[in-house]
Amino acid sequence: MSLSALGWTPFFESQIEGATREGQVPARVMAEEGGLFRLSTEDTELEARLRGRLRHTGEIPVAGDWVLASITGGASMIERVLERRTQIARKVAGQRVDEQVLAANVDAAWIVMALDGDFSLRRLERYLVTVREGGVEPVIVLNKCDLDGAMVEARSDECRRTAIDARVFAVSAASGAGMACLVAETMTPGRTIAVLGSSGVGKSTLVNMISGRSDRATDAVRASDGTGRHTTSGRAIVRIEGGSLLVDTPGLRELQLWESSSGLEATFSEIGELASACRFRDCRHEREPGCAVLEAIEAGILDPSRLRSWRALERELARLERKREASTRASLRRSRNPRKNAR
């Protein structure tokens, strides 16, 4: 398998020029489990560990990363993680203020929602912001169309209005309806697509259907206990015949934003456009005179829920920023007074 079929581009090539020492080869991280990384090189698949030094500097690869690995006899080692072309990152679940990269070097993300109760435009907005922020093209996949055929058109339209310029595909991974179109229009050789969405929406079923294998475990959703059981536990790249790559990911219970500016702007671009016509440059679109955003709501051009969402996400990002600043200050204090903190 050639490197370009694995997604290798001149962007990565330029990072290793002259840097590959004897025995180091470029490899793509296909999966990670328990500190062991499954890598694909030009010639083979192998498992490797991470050099301890990289763990210290926080250079921890995720599925989709390109690395340099030394293959010496038995144990292979990841020596370097190459700079990412794109990434999809969120704040880790829970209280900790830290970034979690869900997938690296992907070209597009299928944001999968199911037509069986999972559907939420507010959640979709979060995914759109997250995906766009990382330089990744969002594609909306409405799955389980077989369950509620009557809703397909209306739901697709709602998605189109919310996602503005993202493409929307309605499919059924169970019956195969719509799948050929999704595959033909979004998957091309060497392209990597991350499959994202809540647990139980059918991500692994989609991946299996397309790969024609059943490598990825799938399971019925237990709606009754509401614990959100997750079937897929690790992220893994599945190679598809024809040359593209799908990253199956575990369902996300919550998607908290992490650093977003361009992603937020692109996802709410209609508000930004309207705001340029507000009388005051620093208009908050609350009750200012000459506010073009409020006028658009009044005139029925802008859905007020869009302004509410945008505000809520902006506030969330501002809160996160404050927390991050506080934790940076705290770690600076620790490094200035090492003895005081050593006790």
Ligand X SMILES: Nc1nc2c(ncn2[C@@H]2O[C@H](COP(=O)(O)OP(=O)(O)OP(=O)(O)O)[C@@H](O)[C@H]2O)c(=O)[nH]1
Chain residues binding ligand X by CB under 6 A are 143-144, 146-147, 172-174, 197, 199-205, 218-221, 230-232, 250-251
Q: Are 279 and 291 in contact (CB under 8 A)?
A: yes
Nearer to ligand X by Cβ, of 142 and 166: the residue is 142
Measure the CA angle with vertex 331, ends 328 and 336; round to 5°. 125
Total Cβ atoms within 10 A of residue 153: 10
Minimum CB distance to Zn ion, residue 280 (Å):
7
* CA pair distance 33, 116, nearest whole angstrom: 31
- Total residues at interface with Mg ion (CB under 5 A): 4
Q: Print burial letters for 240-278: b (CB count within 10 Å at least 16), e (below 16).
A: beebbbbbbbbbbeebbbbbbeebbebbbebbeebbeeb
Q: How many angstroms separate the Cα of 74 from the Cα of each of 20, 34, 47, 52, 77?
A: 20, 19, 10, 18, 10
Q: Does 204 help bind Mg ion (rule: CB under 5 A)?
A: yes
Interacting partner of 46 out of Mg ion, Zn ion, ligand X, none (Cβ under 5 to 8 A depending on kind): none
193 lines the binding site for Zn ion (CB under 5 A): no
Report the residue from 291, 296, 297, 313 that binds Zn ion according to the rule CB under 5 A: 291
Residue 296: its H or E element: helix 292-298
- Amino acid in the structure at residue 236: A
Cross-strand partners of 25: 69
- The nearer residue to ligand X, 30 or 236, going by C-beta atoms, is 236
H-helix or E-strand spanning residue 308: helix 304-336
Min dist. Cβ of residue 204 to Mg ion (A): 3
Burial of 75: CB neighbours in 10 Å, binned 0-12, 13-18, 19+: exposed
Q: Which residue is nearest to ligand X (CB)?
A: 251
Place of tokens 């310029």: 165
**Contact predicate 135/166, CB 8 Å:** no
Q: Is 198 in the site for Mg ion (CB under 5 A)?
A: no
Looking at 44-52, 62-70, 197-205, 258-266, which segment touches Mg ion (CB under 5 A)? Answer: 197-205
Q: How far is the CB of 204 from ligand X (least distance, A)?
A: 3
Quick one: 70 or 204, whose CB is closer to Mg ion? Answer: 204
Least distance from C-beta 283 to Zn ion, angstroms?
3
**Does 293 engage in binding with Zn ion (CB under 5 A)?**
yes
Stretch that binds Zn ion, among 127-135, 217-225, 261-269, 286-294 (CB under 5 A): 286-294
Among 40, 232, 267, 309, binds Mg ion (CB under 5 A): 232
Q: Which does 40 bind (CB under 5 to 8 A by kind): Mg ion, ligand X, Zn ion, none?
A: none
Place of tokens 């937020």: 264
Q: Taking CB under 5 A as the criterion, which residues in 220-279 touch Zn ion?
A: 278
Give the range of 238-246, 256-264, 281-289, 332-340 binding Zn ion by CB under 5 A: 281-289
- Binding site partner of 285, from Zn ion, ligand X, Mg ion, none, Cβ cut-off 5-8 A by kind: Zn ion
Q: What is the distance between the alpha carbons of residues 212 and 5, in angstroms, rounded to a whole number?
A: 19
Nearest approach, Cβ of residue 241 and ligand X (Å): 20
Q: Is 118 exposed, middle or buried (0-12, 13-18, 19+ CB in 10 A)?
A: buried
Binding site for Mg ion (CB under 5 A): 203-204, 231-232
Binding site for Zn ion (CB under 5 A): 278, 283, 285, 291, 293
